[in-house]
Structure 1
Amino acid sequence: MATSTTFTDIFKSSFIEKTTTFSLTDSLIGLISAFLLGIVIYIVYKKTFNGVIYSHTFNISLMIMTMATSLVIMGISQNVLLSLGMVGALSIVRFRTPIKDPMDLVYLFWSIIVGILCGAGFILLGILGTILISLVIILFANKIVVENPYLLVVKFANGEAADSIDQLLKNSTKKYALKSKSHILEYETEVTYEIRVKENDTKVVSDISQVKGVSSAVMLSYDGNFTA
């Protein structure tokens, strides 16, 4: 009489029993290595940050991501079924936090790679790569000059003010571009410029406020993205 293999019989096989066969010492070494290298990434990011607003939570997440990636890789390497389940679980995850700075993407990729290397047992390669990448970032970080753009929002009441504002921007800024223009009321117009000032000189907003016909002038720092 032929016997059939059921789904339960598969899960009773030695294929599943291998989930408990892992080295606690190797796992601790991998996690500790990922933690230490994550600290290095944390320090490098904090010391070389040149953006507008430093995010401490993002920096902490880099270190945690290194350890979490290492943990996932160690789990996947021990059992094939676990690896398939992990792939299925990660395939439904959607990350909606926008990453606007290309260097932030570099740090994220760096953290993930270090976590993979530590989890796979290539700790020395992770250390060597971390040292070299840190040196490159530190050497070139101080040579990167960040020129923060500004949004200048001006409200004025007549057509003569527009010509005066354009002339003033030509003389007082390094570069400017009209982003939007709207008529709030029949007699009032609002315009938005993207400007780049000379040596962080914000005196231009005071000069524009004194132009005849201008009712208000506001200058805001922003990250380069604008939605009209």
Structure 2
Amino acid sequence: MNDVINFQDIIKKSFLHLESFRNVSYIDMILGLTFSFLIGMFIYMLYHRTFRGVVYSYNYNVSFVLMTMITALIIMTISTNIVLSLGMVGALSIVRFRTAVKDPLDIVYMFWSISAGIACGARMYPLAVGGSLAIGIVVYWLSRRKVRGQPYLLIVRHTEEATDQLRAALRQLNGKLKSKTVRKGFTELTIEIVMLDDNTAFMQKISELAGVSDVSLINYTGDYAQ
């Protein structure tokens, strides 16, 4: 009976004690939040410097700093008590994020912020700093690599008169037909081409063909707005 009572006392004292911050000192909290803030600001500045999208979002970039600090705070909280950790898992399981992230690289930054926050909350400061510096160097190096060839969409509107000559001209561009719209009196072609420079002299030649009414060239990133 004494063994059972002692075992129950151990369980109560070890796992069911709800003093959340009993093992986290003020110094640990200050260090964790400070390191998470500095790493979050590093991610913030790197994202702003290497951003290549169409519309830059300041609020989305600021969320990386806050995400790193909040994650560190959560880890410091649940690392002190098993009941809190289990309750936090249950609470976070009902959270649903509805914001659509179109750029896969933005998801990488989000995971980076969460990972750095976990490392800071677990007091693994060398791992958080060293890992963030290594990831930052790789991201910056990849962002500065020169892209060979930019994709463009060439849109040509023509009549049946220009079909043969236009086909020969497009064959020289090594383009890929993306869409073809046939309407009464004219045909509209959308061709994907890759340009290594800004030489657009071919557009003048295509526009001078008999039966070609309009030629447009659009920069194409491969993403469509939804």
Interval of TM-score (by shorter of Structure 1 and Structure 2):
0.7 to 0.9
How do residues 151-166 of structure 1 correspond to structure 2 at under 5 angstroms? 151-156=153-158, 158-166=159-167
Change in Cα spacing, 1:189 to 1:109, as seen in structure 2 (3 Å) is same
Change in Cα spacing, 1:155 to 1:126, as seen in structure 2 (3 Å) is same
Please list the CA deviations of residues 53-100 of structure 1 after superposition, one character each: whole Å capped at 9, or x if unmatched.
362434333333222222222222233333333323333314441343
What does residue 16 of structure 2 align with?
Answer: 15
Change in Cα spacing, 1:20 to 1:107, as seen in structure 2 (3 Å) is closer
Change in Cα spacing, 1:100 to 1:146, as seen in structure 2 (3 Å) is farther
What does residue 27 of structure 1 align with?
Answer: 29
* Contact in 2 for aligned 1:30/1:121 (Cα 8 Å): yes
Give the CA deviation at 1:118. 0.7
Partners of 1:226 and 1:162 in 2: CA distance: 29
* Contact in 2 for aligned 1:52/1:223 (Cα 8 Å): no
* Contact in 2 for aligned 1:52/1:148 (Cα 8 Å): no
Give the CA deviation at 1:127. 0.9
Give the CA deviation at 1:122. 0.6
What does residue 182 of structure 1 align with?
Answer: 181
Q: Which amino acid in 2 is paired with 1:18? A: E
Give the CA deviation at 1:16. 5.6
How do residues 98-137 of structure 1 correspond to structure 2 at under 5 angstroms? 98-101=101-104, 103-137=105-139
What does residue 3 of structure 2 align with?
Answer: none
Please list the CA deviations of residues 157-178 of structure 1 after superposition, one character each: whole Å capped at 9, or x if unmatched.
x22423333333343x4x4211
Moved more, 114-123 or 139-148: 139-148
Question: Where do 5+ consecutive residues of structure 1 fail to align?
Answer: 1-13
Partners of 1:152 and 1:214 in 2: CA distance: 13
Q: Which amino acid in 1 is paired with 2:138? A: V
What does residue 11 of structure 2 align with?
Answer: none
Give the CA deviation at 1:52. 4.4
Give the CA deviation at 1:116. 0.8
Partners of 2:163 and 2:17 in 1: CA distance: 75
Q: Does 1:81 align with 2:79?
A: no
Partners of 2:117 and 2:109 in 1: CA distance: 12
* Contact in 2 for aligned 1:176/1:194 (Cα 8 Å): yes
After TM superposition, the score normalised by the length of structure 2 is: 0.75
Partners of 1:203 and 1:69 in 2: CA distance: 54
SS at match of 1:182: strand
Sequence identity of aligned pairs in percent?
38
Partners of 1:124 and 1:114 in 2: CA distance: 11
After TM superposition, the score normalised by the length of structure 1 is: 0.75
Change in Cα spacing, 1:29 to 1:188, as seen in structure 2 (3 Å) is same
What does residue 150 of structure 1 align with?
Answer: 152
2:208 to 207, 210, 213: 210
Change in Cα spacing, 1:47 to 1:83, as seen in structure 2 (3 Å) is same
- How many residue pairs get aligned? The number is 209
SS at match of 2:157: strand
Partners of 1:147 and 1:208 in 2: CA distance: 21
Q: Which amino acid in 2 is paired with 1:97? A: A
Partners of 2:185 and 2:202 in 1: CA distance: 24
Change in Cα spacing, 1:56 to 1:100, as seen in structure 2 (3 Å) is closer
What does residue 220 of structure 1 align with?
Answer: 218
Q: Which amino acid in 1 is paired with 2:118? A: I
* Contact in 2 for aligned 1:68/1:115 (Cα 8 Å): yes
SS at match of 2:31: helix
SS at match of 2:28: helix
What does residue 199 of structure 2 align with?
Answer: 201
